[in-house]
Structure 1
Amino acid sequence: MRLTVIAPTSDPAILDLVRDEATGWASPGTAIDVAGLPTTAAIASRHDTALAVPDLLAAIGTAEESGSDGVLVSCAGDPAVHEARETAAIPVVGGFQPAALTALSLGERLGFITVLPSVVPMLRALIRAEGLTGRVGTIRALGSDTLDVHDTGALTGLIRAQAADILLRDEADVIVLGCTGFVGAAARVQQDLADTGFDVPVVDPTGAAVLWLESLVRLGVRSSRTTYHPPPTMTWLA
């Protein structure tokens, strides 16, 4: 199996992190290709998303043409995912849907932790679209636009503090990381919480997405054409 992970960034260091993270989650025999977007630094708002969608759609098309069996858009905002499903003949997922649906099987209420306040409305919109409003207890943002994703200690500490507060306030039963840039943090936060008496799962969006995508490919399924209709040819406009 060959999967393509598209990271909406032009930062080579971030692309290396994405490659290592996705490869670490992939099953034996699954090859991981990673592609970036030369004109995009990151996606942290609706405006960023709108600017990135055309390049993401092109990159997804390129991945399919090159023989990839499935595509992961490495962003918890699921940018271009639903749009790409209308034309792609292979499964396409983002970071949000697999993580959220996996978390639903682990507990009653979900608590999301993301990077910036600008991402919170994006997650709220995705939660509404999936009909999950009644299952989400809270969405928290770390609130730092200067946080270095390479500084795993600082990152893990901030996530741990938010997760512990969520649990102390009884706002959620499962913690979902709402950013694919939280590389390697889920397992450490889960263990730290367990050490302080909170036996709750912490779901990593990249891990959930890679494993979900592998399952879709092995099942031999793709997006339904009664939901994701191919764009019609509007001959009457010619």
Structure 2
Amino acid sequence: MRIWHQSFTVLDDVPHYRDALRRHLSSAARPGTTVELHGMAPGTYPGSYPGVHIGHLYLTNLHREQFVRAALRAEDEGHDAFLIATIPDTGFEEIRTLVDIPVVAFGNASVAYAATVGTRVGVVNFIAELEPQLRRNMDAYGFGSLVGPIVQVEKGFTDVMAAYADPGPLLEAFRTAARRAVAAGANVIVPGEGPLNVFLADQGVSRVDDVPVIDSLGTALAVAETRADQYRRTGLRPPRSGMYFTRPDPDTVAAARRFYYGDRA
């Protein structure tokens, strides 16, 4: 089984994260599953990194095109599933209308799974600007009532990258934020952005006090594997009715993409 993993980062720019991601997903994958890591194109973030871009709707929508292009390529190349490995689920609704292979998204899958473990999901992340997008997504998925507090770790992207050399400060900051979420009613924690989740998994963090911490990307990978199995066996795929699910004619899509993107379509 081949799973296409699509990150919102330029992976070669963040080698500590890339290597930890490879270790974690290789360990989490079933025997026989290959997870192929893909990131954004080099130069996507001149002068600033994803934590800045991801907090602005227009920039996020521009970058979404890389996810769409990757998913079309993944289906063409015979991958069994496409994994959107960023908690705002960039391009999820659009991509699932364009391909028939399973499309699994970090935020959607991890919150859905967390609800099988607890009854009130707290999200702990490090990009405060994402909260409105996360809440809008969860409402669209029907998960709005499941998600309680969204709490920020008092660290930034560079702190998360530096934590591979000195994990203590980030671990303490995460525990502090998770306890705030628990105090606000959460009884299961979903780590937010991929770099934080992978760092915590790399450090073996699965609980804070009496509250479980979900391995968000590991969970999304397990869902992708299960969905790929079901697709192979039964052809299970999303509904194909209504604006948010109908698959447009591929030739029409190709023509529109050529108009806007030319040779980059």
**Number of the residue aligned with 1:74:** 85
Contact map agreement 1:85 1:92 (CA 8 A) in 2: yes
Name the residue aligned to 1:102.
Answer: 113
Post-superposition Cα deviations, 1:52-107, rounded to whole Å, max 9, x if no partner, equal 11111111111111111001111011001111111112011121011000011111
Residue of structure 2 in register with 1:132 after alignment = 143
Aligned counterparts of 2:180 and 2:109: Cα–Cα separation in 1: 25
Q: State yes or no: 1:212 paired with 2:227.
A: no
Gap regions ≥5 residues in structure 1: none
Q: Is the 8 A contact 2:64 2:91 kept in 1?
A: yes
**Aligned AA (2:44):** T
Q: Which stretches of structure 1, 4 residues or more, deviate above 6 A after TM superposition?
A: none
Q: 2: distance between equivalents of 1:101 and 1:29?
A: 25
Relative to 1, partners in 2 of residues 1:66 and 1:200: Cα closer, same or farther, differing over 3 Å?
same
The one-letter code matched in structure 2 to 1:44 is I
Aligned to 1:139, the other structure's residue is in SS state strand
Q: Decide whether the 8 Å contact of 2:109 with 2:223 is kept in 1.
A: yes
2:120 and 2:185 in contact (8 A); partners too: yes
Q: Which amino acid aligns with 2:247?
A: P
Tell me the residue number matched to 1:92: 103
* Aligned: 1:65 with 2:76: yes
Out of 218, 235, 246, the position equivalent to 1:229 is 246
Amino acid in the other structure paired with 1:40: T
Tell me how many residue pairs correspond in the alignment: 228
CA contact (8 A) 1:110 1:172 kept: yes
TM-superposed CA distance for 1:4, in Å, is: 0.8
Q: Which residue in 2 is equivalent to 1:28?
A: 31
Task: Find the aligned partners of 2:75 and 2:20 in 1 and give their Cα distance.
Answer: 23
Specify whether residues 148 and 135 from structure 1 end up closer, same or farther in structure 2 by C-alpha distance, changes over 3 A only: closer
Could you say which residue in structure 2 is the equivalent of 1:147?
A: 159
Whole-Å Cα distance in 1 between the matches of residues 95 and 160 of structure 2? 30
User: Which one of the candidate residues 183, 191, 211 is aligned to 1:177?
Assistant: 191
TM-score (structure 1 length as normaliser): 0.87
Alignment partners' CA distance in 2, 1:157 and 1:203: 17
Structure 1 residues 151 and 47, CA gap change in structure 2 (3 angstroms): farther
Counterparts of 1:166 and 1:148, CA distance in 2: 20
Contact map agreement 1:112 1:138 (CA 8 A) in 2: yes
- CA distance in 2 between partners of 1:113 and 1:57 (Å): 27
Which whole-Å CA distance do the structure 2 matches of 1:48 and 1:211 have between them?
Answer: 30
CA RMSD of aligned residues (A): 2.1
Unaligned runs of 5+ in 2: 254-265
Per the TM alignment, residue 170 of structure 1 is displaced from its structure 2 partner at its CA by 4.7
C-alpha displacement at 1:200, in angstroms? 2.0
Query: Would you say 1:17 and 2:20 are equivalent positions?
Result: yes
| 1:114–1:140 CA contact under 8 A, matched in 2 | yes
Q: Which string of whole-angstrom CA distances, capped at 9 and with x for unpartnered residues, describes residues 192-235 of structure 1?
A: x2xxxx3221112101100000000111222221351012559x
The 3-state SS of whatever aligns with 1:4 is strand
Matched with 1:199 is 210
Q: Render the CA deviation track for 1:162-189: whole Å, top value 9, x for unaligned.
A: 112222x251111111211121415744
Q: Is the 8 A contact 1:7 1:18 kept in 2?
A: no
Amino acid paired to 1:190: S
Identity, % of aligned pairs? Answer: 27
